[in-house]
């Protein structure tokens, strides 16, 4: 590792955190009904949308009504996308004559994009029409991220309410998220991307004649607009199969820096928003410090692992140096390491290098971040996971020191602990259960691109990505089969919505509880000591749950590599 490379990583993360703080304050104003810039213009557009959908914006909802509206909208959007994918071959804006999807692939893709996962068992440039990219994919990249955002905001209201069952109006939150946040930011970023070389056109592929002879087909389309919401919405689904390793999605080091900042901007901003909601800036600072340290540690871990290279090449062929397989030289290892850590920390799923080509330890880090599922996390749902682990940590710490378990003035009782435990356990249950089935049946083994330990890691990575709503993949797994389309799709849906439902039930329980003033017996959560306990609980729980599968996969593969043994 070099000083210059290390400074690149630290500087990009520092810029991200600095930009996130004012945005977090802005989000607090948006969701508490305070005046923001261009208030008149936003309000006029929103009033028209309220009338269009027949919504009274002054009506408040309890957690059950809010959740019902959220799930209903998601179901309708998934059904709409599924129908588009099944018929797009016969619809307009198909200059390349791409056929419609099969029903298993359409189900997997609809489930993936409606849940903000954006796992892709298809190659965008050859299996998705321009209409499909715009009307289904880009549309869902806006609405799916809004689902996570409003879920987090509703939970914050429930946690800070004073004996009121209402947690806001889903339709107001949904529309405001789009009009006041994602549309303006996406429009500005798309314009910047166009200026930096990303294409934005409705024309199809073009055939060019190379200087050395022969012809090459170059796919085009509305790439810049999709790329903007792909990163800002922690979506990750690329226009091209190579995702952000493709020069049309990420042509330079500058664009990769912008994409890293874009994918982390709103998840980190929500930590500041959380601090504003609870009226405790110090609490947000504590979380910022520990979560940013985990992000930086992950980036340097990948950077160091790839710089160390592959000892097998040195022993057998006398080739030294870093591991550049699957990397883009226009980014270099520092930005590749940071992008790899960031895309799994923020559960975005975009890639600017092929994770399947990372060293065993380098590939283990993004896997670990998805297993933890709370290093900032995706927009909204990341904050929900952080708060879920905060509830569990408060309960455990309260038992250890003999203090009443309470968080932000609300007592934590059996109901909240049970629901938080359900929310926490669904993640490992889906990952470990699905992985066990996949490596035990012929349909699961037949899709492996590599045998042995690396093949096991490919399967483990796929279901971890699905359950964490991440969407990145070890590319060696052939996922477009009936078995993987159905099982990954089901893991995606359960991983997304079971946790959200449990957290809404917690919000409803906390909303009607009175706020108890802090006293001598209150366990403070805004200290760095508690922050250390919080991280320790997360790591210990995750290690006890996932270390065996990590030992079977990347750890064992690394030990084989160091021992100079060729993998089968």
Q: What is the pLDDT of residue 568?
A: 57
Using an 8 Å Cβ cutoff, are 169 and 49 in contact? no
The DSSP call for residue 513 is S
Domain membership flag for residue 172: yes
Using an 8 Å Cβ cutoff, are 554 and 360 in contact? yes
Domain membership flag for residue 126: yes
The DSSP call for residue 566 is P
Domain membership flag for residue 9: yes
In whole angstroms, what is the distance from residue 464 CA to residue 482 CA?
19
Domain membership flag for residue 53: yes
Divide the 568 residues of the chain into consecutive groups of 10 and give the mean pLDDT of each group.
91 95 95 88 93 90 94 96 96 92 96 94 91 94 95 92 88 95 96 95 85 82 94 92 92 95 96 92 93 95 91 75 86 93 94 91 93 91 92 84 75 87 92 94 90 90 94 87 95 94 92 75 82 91 91 90 72
Going from the C-alpha of 201 to that of each of 135, 219, 291, 400, the distances in angstroms are 15, 11, 39, 60
Q: What is the pLDDT of residue 525?
A: 83
Q: What is the pLDDT of residue 491?
A: 96
Domain membership flag for residue 390: yes
Structural domain harbouring 556: 3-562
In whole angstroms, what is the distance from residue 234 CA to residue 262 CA?
8
Q: What is the pLDDT of residue 274?
A: 94
Going from the C-alpha of 251 to that of each of 191, 255, 393, the distances in angstroms are 15, 7, 43
Q: What is the pLDDT of residue 566?
A: 66
In whole angstroms, what is the distance from residue 221 CA to residue 538 CA?
42
Instruction: Give the chain's domain count.
Output: 1
In whole angstroms, what is the distance from residue 198 CA to residue 275 CA?
37
- 231 burial (CB, 10 Å; 0-12 / 13-18 / 19+) is buried
Domain membership flag for residue 567: no
- Exposure b/e, 145-176, CB count within 10 A at least 16 = b: bbbbbbbbbbbbbbbbbeeeebbbbbbbbbbb
Q: Which residues lie closer than 8 Å to 152 by C-beta, 6 or more apart? A: 270, 379, 380, 381, 383, 384
Using an 8 Å Cβ cutoff, are 506 and 387 in contact? no
- 320 burial (CB, 10 Å; 0-12 / 13-18 / 19+) is exposed
Could you tell me how many residues make up the chain? 568
Domain membership flag for residue 194: yes
Rounding to the nearest 10 degrees, give the CA dihedral for residues 127, 130, 132, 136: 140
Q: What is the pLDDT of residue 315?
A: 73
Quick one: which of 74, 45, 73 has its CA closest to 57?
45
Give the other-Cβ count within 10 Å of 209's Cβ. 9
Encoded tokens for 418 = 């049970």
Domain membership flag for residue 308: yes
In whole angstroms, what is the distance from residue 554 CA to residue 360 CA?
5
Quick one: which of 100, 96, 97 has its CA closest to 82?
100
């Amino acid at each position: 590792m070099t000083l210059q490379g290390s400074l690149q990583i630290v500087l990009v993360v520092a810029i991200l955190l600095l930009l996130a703080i004012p945005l977090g304050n802005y989000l607090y104003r948006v969701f508490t009904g305070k005046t923001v810039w261009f208030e008149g213009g936003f309000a006029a557009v929103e009033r028209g949308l309220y009338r269009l959908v027949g919504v009274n914006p002054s009506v408040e909802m309890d957690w059950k009504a809010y959740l019902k509206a959220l799930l209903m909208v998601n179901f309708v959007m998934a059904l709409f996308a599924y129908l588009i994918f099944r018929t797009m071959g016969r619809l307009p804006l198909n200059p390349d004559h791409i056929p419609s999807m099969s029903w298993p692939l359409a189900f997997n893709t609809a489930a993936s994009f409606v849940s903000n996962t954006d796992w892709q068992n298809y190659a965008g440039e050859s299996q998705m029409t321009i209409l499909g990219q715009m009307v289904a994919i880009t549309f869902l990249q806006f609405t799916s991220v809004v689902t996570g955002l409003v879920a987090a905001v509703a939970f914050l209201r429930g946690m800070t309410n004073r004996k009121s069952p209402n947690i806001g109006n889903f339709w107001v939150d949904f529309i405001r998220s789009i009009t006041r946040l994602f549309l303006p930011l996406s429009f500005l970023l798309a314009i910047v991307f166009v200026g930096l070389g990303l294409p934005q056109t409705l024309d199809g592929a073009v055939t060019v004649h190379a200087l050395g002879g022969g012809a090459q087909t170059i796919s085009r389309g509305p790439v810049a607009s999709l790329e903007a919401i792909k990163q800002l919405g922690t979506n990750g689904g690329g226009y091209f199969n190579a995702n952000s390793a493709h020069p049309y999605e990420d042509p330079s080091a500058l664009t990769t820096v912008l994409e890293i900042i874009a994918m982390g901007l709103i998840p980190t901003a929500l930590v500041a928003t959380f601090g504003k909601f609870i009226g405790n800036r110090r609490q947000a600072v504590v979380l910022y410090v520990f979560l940013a340290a985990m992000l930086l540690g992950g980036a340097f871990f990948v950077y160091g692992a790839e710089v160390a290279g592959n000892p097998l090449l040195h022993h057998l062929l006398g080739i030294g140096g870093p591991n550049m397989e699957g990397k883009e030289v226009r980014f270099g290892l520092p930005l590749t390491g940071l992008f790899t850590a960031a895309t799994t920390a923020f559960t975005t799923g975009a890639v600017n290098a092929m994770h399947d080509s990372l060293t065993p330890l380098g590939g283990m880090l993004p896997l670990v971040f998805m297993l933890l599922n709370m290093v900032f996390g995706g927009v909204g749902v990341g904050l929900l996971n952080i708060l879920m682990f905060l509830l569990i940590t408060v309960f455990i710490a309260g038992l250890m020191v003999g203090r009443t378990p309470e968080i932000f003035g609300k007592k934590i009782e059996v109901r909240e602990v049970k629901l938080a435990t359900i929310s926490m356990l669904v993640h490992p249950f889906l990952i470990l259960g699905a992985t066990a089935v996949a490596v035990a049946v012929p349909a699961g083994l037949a899709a492996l691109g590599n045998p042995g330990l690396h093949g096991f890691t490919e399967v483990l990575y796929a279901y971890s990505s699905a359950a964490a709503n991440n969407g990145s993949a070890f590319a060696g797994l052939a996922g477009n089969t009936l078995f993987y389309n159905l099982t990954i799709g089901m893991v995606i849906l359960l991983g997304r919505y079971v946790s959200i439902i449990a957290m809404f039930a917690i919000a409803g329980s906390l909303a009607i509880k009175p706020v108890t003033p802090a006293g001598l017996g209150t366990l403070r959560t805004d200290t760095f000591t508690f922050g250390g306990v919080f991280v320790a609980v997360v790591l210990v729980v995750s290690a006890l749950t996932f270390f065996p599968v990590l030992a079977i996969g990347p750890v064992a593969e690394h030990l084989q590599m160091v021992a100079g043994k060729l993998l089968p």
